Structure 1
């Protein structure tokens, strides 16, 4: 009987490793797809053109469809992001995103030391969120929305697995 338990335990570990490998493979393929799409968009944006999104939609329609969760802003926000990118360029917007992330990290360090008012952190979170939504617009709102959903689902699975593991551990000790 103990030998059967060892075999079952080993099979469960192998299955978990296989699932993890599949998840990594999927992540790699999605990242490659996003990189290719982002490069194409950047090339076209550099040439002053806007690549139509999937199914012939323009970027605003794509943003509206994919942002029902609110992660990527409203269609009006998308138009504003496009104006900023057209006026200042993709490179400048990327550098602005880097700068906002740097400011956030600096404030985050100060907050952990107790030297920061919450309002300042809220402002930086807003700045970073806006810039990340703009980066999503540049690199492909559909792909970013898909990755957000994928990562949220993965977090949900991990939390559920941990809860099941804790429940299983407490029931096995009874």
Structure 2
């Protein structure tokens, strides 16, 4: 159990799953916007860090909601694919 499970559970109890899915989409969109602005020197690194933190928290909540073991297995699979792509013979 991660240190954030209690807060994830409380957020789900207060706002429900559907709202958390919507919040995840919103946080991802805000990160995308901040990254586009960063490329044009309209925002600084701290804005990216703040938006990234919001997305990381939502990823944690989504992982909690969908099953952390399932998400971890998917991550391991993606890492293996990435390692193959990074291999010297590719």
Runs of 4+ in 1 over 4 A off after TM superposition: none
Cα distance in 2 between the residues matched to 1:83 and 1:152: 31
Q: Is 1:155 aligned with 2:67?
A: no
Query: Matched residue pairs, number?
Result: 90
Structure 2 partner of 1:116:
43
- For residue 102 of structure 1, the aligned residue among 13, 19, 29 is 29
Cα distance in 2 between the residues matched to 1:85 and 1:76: 16
The TM-score normalised by the length of structure 1 is 0.49
- For residue 85 of structure 1, the aligned residue among 1, 6, 12 is 12
- The alpha carbon displacement at 1:133 in A equals 1.1
Q: What secondary structure does 2:4 align onto?
A: helix
Cα distance in 1 between the residues matched to 2:89 and 2:28: 36
Cα distance in 2 between the residues matched to 1:149 and 1:123: 26
Q: Which runs of 5+ in 2 are unaligned?
A: none
Q: Which runs of 5+ in 1 are unaligned?
A: 1-63, 65-74, 166-174
Larger radius of gyration: 1
Cα distance in 1 between the residues matched to 2:60 and 2:13: 16
The TM-score normalised by the length of structure 2 is 0.92
Q: What secondary structure does 1:76 align onto?
A: coil
Q: Which structure would you say has the larger RCO, counting Cα contacts within 8 Å and 6 or more residues apart? A: 2
